[in-house]
């Protein structure tokens, strides 16, 4: 029977995709630790998922696979990675990924996806050239950077630093000082208690809900939608976007809002309620408190 070209192409695609999937190789390793662990993960390409758990052991499960269905990854090299996993331990310090090649860089067209669990009060330094980094339930600091992918965290300690060069940042349950930057993605912050923190993105939007503490946020051309309780100074800046600010009921702060060419609409307690065109609105809210400053060069401001 003669196959039409489209049918042949479909069968070929499924065939080689199946081969690529079938070529995936896995490995697992468990190491004893005596308490909080200092973990460093260096991955050239692939996802990294780290979870803090109760107990005193470190466990990693990994999938070694081809970068894509048409890659020519060497199966022997993949088997070699699984047979001798790139994991080094010195006491409670553990390094995952080759120190010189950052994971699979020396192995052509090979990705490694890591699933790691370790004691909750550990510290994490994770880097991926291309892939999402996901960290949850870690009481110590988290330093995470990905070149192409997202950074997702839920429950992290103070002095954390999060960088996504071209992806999004999804932050929940952060505590203490935080530095977060996205090259061009969106940043979302939820249910966090921060002190003297800075968040920025070149062109994405920044959104917060149930945010307590003090923070500075900046976007070159995105929108800001911020809500929470300022217990320390807040500063919000965007070059051309809009700003929406919703304060928790009864919040006390000193307002300083300015737009270069937009409008300000406020439902804050009098005398700071009303509509202003191309101007500045400022003064104490509920008796005053920490300073809440916001500026947009070419957008509207909404205050609630």
Structural domains in the chain (count): 2
| 246-270 tens-digit pLDDT | 999 999 999 999 999 999 999 999 8
71 plus 134 within the same structural domain: yes
State how far the Cα of 30 lies from the Cα of 33, in Å rounded to an integer.
10
115 plus 192 within the same structural domain: no
Tell me the DSSP string of 215-251: EEEEESS--EEEEEEEEEEEEEEESSS-EEEEEPTT-
210 plus 131 within the same structural domain: no
Is 273 inside a domain boundary?
A: yes
Is 11 inside a domain boundary?
A: no
Is 297 strand, coil or helix?
Answer: coil
Is 193 strand, coil or helix?
Answer: strand
State how far the Cα of 252 lies from the Cα of 193, in Å rounded to an integer.
17
Is 95 inside a domain boundary?
A: yes
State how far the Cα of 86 lies from the Cα of 42, in Å rounded to an integer.
10
29 plus 105 within the same structural domain: yes
212 plus 248 within the same structural domain: yes
Q: On the CB side of 182, how many CA atoms lie within 13 Å of its CA? A: 27
pLDDT class of 136 with cuts at 50, 70, 90: very high
State how far the Cα of 177 lies from the Cα of 181, in Å rounded to an integer.
14
Proportion of the chain above pLDDT 90, given as a percent: 75
Q: What pLDDT was estimated at residue 9? A: 41
Q: What pLDDT was estimated at residue 122? A: 98
Domain boundary (92, 124, 142) is at: 142
| 16-45 tens-digit pLDDT | 444 444 468 999 999 999 989 999 999 988
What domain range is 235 assigned to? 168-304
128 plus 214 within the same structural domain: no
Structure tokens at 245: 């600010």
Q: What pLDDT was estimated at residue 187? A: 98
| 41-96 tens-digit pLDDT | 999 889 999 999 999 999 999 999 877 644 555 678 788 888 888 999 999 999 99
Is 151 inside a domain boundary?
A: no
Is 199 inside a domain boundary?
A: yes
Contact at 8 Å (CB) between 46 and 111? yes
Is 4 inside a domain boundary?
A: no
Whether the full predicted model's pTM is greater than 0.85, yes or no, is yes
Contact at 8 Å (CB) between 276 and 256? no
Strands 206-219 and 280-285: unpaired
Is 13 inside a domain boundary?
A: no
């Amino acid at each position: 029977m003669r196959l039409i070209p489209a049918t042949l192409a479909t069968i070929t695609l499924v065939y080689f995709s199946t081969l690529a999937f079938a070529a995936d190789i896995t490995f697992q390793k468990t190491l004893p630790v005596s308490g909080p662990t200092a973990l460093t993960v260096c991955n050239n390409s692939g996802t990294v998922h780290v979870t803090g758990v109760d107990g005193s052991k470190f466990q990693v499960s990994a999938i070694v696979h081809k970068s894509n269905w048409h890659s020519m990854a060497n199966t022997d090299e993949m088997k070699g990675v699984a047979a001798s996993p790139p994991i080094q331990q010195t006491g409670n310090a553990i390094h995952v990924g080759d120190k010189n090649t950052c994971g699979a860089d020396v192995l052509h067209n090979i990705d490694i996806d890591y699933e790691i669990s370790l004691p909750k009060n550990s510290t994490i330094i994770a880097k991926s050239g291309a892939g999402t980094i996901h960290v949850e339930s870690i009481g110590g600091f988290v330093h995470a950077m990905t070149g192409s992918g997202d950074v997702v965290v839920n429950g992290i300690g103070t002095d954390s630093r999060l960088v996504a060069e071209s992806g999004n940042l999804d932050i929940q349950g952060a505590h203490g000082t935080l530095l977060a930057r996205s090259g061009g993605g969106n940043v979302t912050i939820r249910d966090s208690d921060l002190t003297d923190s800075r968040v920025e993105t070149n062109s994405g939007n920044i959104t917060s809900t149930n945010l307590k503490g003090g923070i500075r946020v900046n976007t070159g051309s995105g929108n800001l939608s911020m809500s929470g309780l300022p217990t320390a100074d807040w500063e919000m800046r965007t070059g051309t976007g809009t700003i929406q600010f919703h304060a928790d009921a009864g919040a006390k702060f000193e307002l300083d809002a300015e737009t270069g060419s937009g409008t300000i609409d406020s439902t804050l307690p009098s005398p700071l309620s009303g509509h202003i065109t191309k101007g500045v609105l400022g003064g104490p809210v509920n008796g005053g408190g920490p300073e809440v400053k916001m500026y947009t060069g070419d957008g509207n401001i909404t205050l609630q």
